[in-house]
Amino acid sequence: MIDEAQALKLLLAGWRAPAAPDRLRTRVVASYRQLMSRDAAEEGAEMKYCPSCHREFAPQFRFCPLDGLPLMAAEQRDARAAFVEARQLESNNTRAAVSTVDETIGFDDVTTESLPATPIVAQANDRTRARAEYHLTILAEAGLIARLMTEVRAVALESQLTWPEFRRDPAGFARRTIAGYSLLLRRRLAQENVAYGLVTAFVVVLTLLCTVVAVEHFHRRHVTMTADNVRDDLDYLGPVTVIPTPTKAEEGPAGMADHGTGGGSAQNHERPGGGGGGGDHEALTASNGRLPQATLEPPLLAPNVKPPVIENPHLPTPATIQADPTLFPTDPRPLPYGDPKSQAQELSNGSGDGGGIGDGHGGGVGPGNGTGYGPGEGWNTGGGPPKIGGGGPGCCGGTTDYASRIFKPSETSKRAVILSKPEPTFTEEARKENVTGEVILRMVLASNGAVTNIQPIKGLPAGLTERAIAAAKQIQFTPAEKDGHKVSQYVTVSYNFNIY
């Protein structure tokens, strides 16, 4: 019987791995030979040394990453050491006089003659000699672009050379760089008159800066005083802001809220419906005034422009109209009740009947039929059958100018019906020139039965557009209606001119 551990071992033995392929041997051997040949080549090459920091570098490096100086071979370093020793022995007296000269510069000036002129040494000599020359001006002979390119090339070259060193030991590289620059700075500051020069420059710049600040301060104070002297009569009230221009509230479907585009208290935007009207069989039209409080409950007392005076009523009952209160906020004006749309000033309940104010019927206000306000039936406002709208307060609906406003077909409750549309005739000129096509006109079918505002949208030459306009003027139609009123409506009419 095989236990579970052995079974698992047997299972695992089922996964066999392949043997190493022969090509791997060839590849490894090739890499081994290459590695050995490179090592041999590197062993034969000499290490290089920095003449300044005396560090040792691999043969492929040309410049010291710390000092930026060209590296030199071992024999050059030995020659340099011999030179320094000889110089110390021979010129102890003169050394004090020339102690301010950079040691490297002095060495390189001499090695130009004493050492073999290898390219690296020659290049170093050129650089150091150029550095040692004294110029009366900071302007060099080379152009700006040339000098810039030289610097860029130098930076690129040094980056390329120092990158392997940085990648090998970033922390050490940073440490050595900081140490190198610190040493360089100390050397510079240790030179004669450098510290004095720096302090003098600092003092001069600081003095200049303080002078500029003082002059600026004095100038600002002087200007302020001058301004104060010129206009003593002016007081500063605050920054000028843009005065907002009063904008007319966008017209909503109905209501007297003077703001909003909604249609009532329901959540979803919906157009309200309904209306009301009233009157007391008076000869005068209903007078202008404020509307009573709107409520959705049926009114207990209809509004009256001349309410009877009741002394100490047992149950004070205000007059109301049955409409959505969202559309009719309380009117605080100290006016008698009336129709806000009316122009009449003499108090009158209007020619309607059933109580209320206006020319309609039923206990409301306006020309409609019901206990609401405006054209329409039942209650509420907005025209047509009564319905609660939604979307918040609306405005201006009660003051729609049915007579002068031109409606789009979609805004009307009943569109205009064209009864006859005479066809235009061809002009002789168009017939000769075989002009055919379509003329499209936009026009207004006015509430008074006339065709007005005819505008060609697409015309034809040879007098055909004029013929189409003339034909359009003869259109007969039934005007569109909105809320029971005849209104003007835009229509677009096309005329085809074809020669068969």
Partner 1 sequence: MPDRTTDEALLARACQGEEAAFLALYERYRDPIYRFAYRLLGSAVLAEDVTHDCFLSLLRRPEAFDPTRAALRTYLYAAVRNLALKQFRRPRLEVTLDDLQAEPPATEAQQPLRQLLAAELSEAVRRAIDGLPQLQREALILFEYEELSLAEIAAVVEADVGAVKARLARARENLRRELAPYLAGGTGERELEK
**Do 391 and 263 contact (CB within 8 A), yes or no?**
yes
Among residues 402, 400, 406, 401, the alpha carbon closest in space to that of 452 is found at 406
Q: Which of residues 34-93 bind partner 1 (CB under 8 A)?
A: 35-36, 40
CB of 59 to partner 1, least distance (A): 18
CA angle 385, 388, 391 (to 5 degrees): 130
134 part of the interface to partner 1, by CB under 8 A: no
Please list, in sequence order, all residues whose beta carbon lies within 8 angstroms of the beta carbon of residue 157, skipping any fewer than 6 positions away.
63
Cα→Cα distances 29→19, 23, 36, 151, 214, Å: 18, 10, 11, 46, 80
Q: Which of residues 1-20 bind partner 1 (CB under 8 A)?
A: 2, 4-20
Two tokens, residue 155: 């930076």
CB of 20 to partner 1, least distance (A): 4
**Do 488 and 444 contact (CB within 8 A), yes or no?**
yes
Which C-beta is closer to partner 1: that of 29 or that of 154?
Answer: 29
Which C-beta is closer to partner 1: that of 15 or that of 134?
Answer: 15
Q: Which of residues 368-387 bind partner 1 (CB under 8 A)?
A: none
For 260-283, letters b (16+ CB in 10 Å) and e give bbbbbbbeeebbbbbbbbbbbebe
Among residues 472, 438, 479, the alpha carbon closest in space to that of 455 is found at 472
Beta bridge partners of 493: 441
Secondary structure (3-state) at 417: strand
Which C-beta is closer to partner 1: that of 45 or that of 227?
Answer: 45
CB of 3 to partner 1, least distance (A): 10
CB of 160 to partner 1, least distance (A): 24
CB of 170 to partner 1, least distance (A): 20
CB of 5 to partner 1, least distance (A): 8
181 part of the interface to partner 1, by CB under 8 A: no
Rounded to 5 degrees, what are φ and ψ at 386?
A: -70, 140
CB of 14 to partner 1, least distance (A): 4
Name the one range near partner 1 by CB under 8 A: 27-35, 56-64, 275-283, 425-433: 27-35
**Do 373 and 239 contact (CB within 8 A), yes or no?**
no
**Do 376 and 383 contact (CB within 8 A), yes or no?**
yes
Which C-beta is closer to partner 1: that of 18 or that of 119?
Answer: 18
Which C-beta is closer to partner 1: that of 14 or that of 143?
Answer: 14
CB of 19 to partner 1, least distance (A): 6
29 part of the interface to partner 1, by CB under 8 A: yes
Which C-beta is closer to partner 1: that of 8 or that of 206?
Answer: 8
Which C-beta is closer to partner 1: that of 22 or that of 235?
Answer: 22
Beta bridge partners of 264: 392
Please list, in sequence order, all residues whose beta carbon lies within 8 angstroms of the beta carbon of residue 418, skipping any fewer than 6 positions away.
445, 475, 476, 477, 491
Query: How far does CA 102 lie from the centroid of its chain?
Result: 60
Please list, in sequence order, all residues whose beta carbon lies within 8 angstroms of the beta carbon of residue 361, skipping any fewer than 6 positions away.
277, 278, 279, 352, 353, 354, 369, 370
Q: Which of residues 248-307 bind partner 1 (CB under 8 A)?
A: none
Which C-beta is closer to partner 1: that of 29 or that of 210?
Answer: 29
CB of 35 to partner 1, least distance (A): 6
Name the one range near partner 1 by CB under 8 A: 33-41, 191-199, 320-328, 412-420: 33-41
168 part of the interface to partner 1, by CB under 8 A: no
CB of 13 to partner 1, least distance (A): 8
Q: For residues 365 and 25, what is the distance between their CA atoms, to the nearest angstrom?
A: 108
Tell me which of 21, 239, 316, 332 binds partner 1, using CB under 8 A: 21
Which C-beta is closer to partner 1: that of 29 or that of 418?
Answer: 29
Which C-beta is closer to partner 1: that of 7 or that of 190?
Answer: 7
Binding site for partner 1 (CB under 8 A): 2, 4-21, 23-25, 27-29, 31-33, 35-36, 40
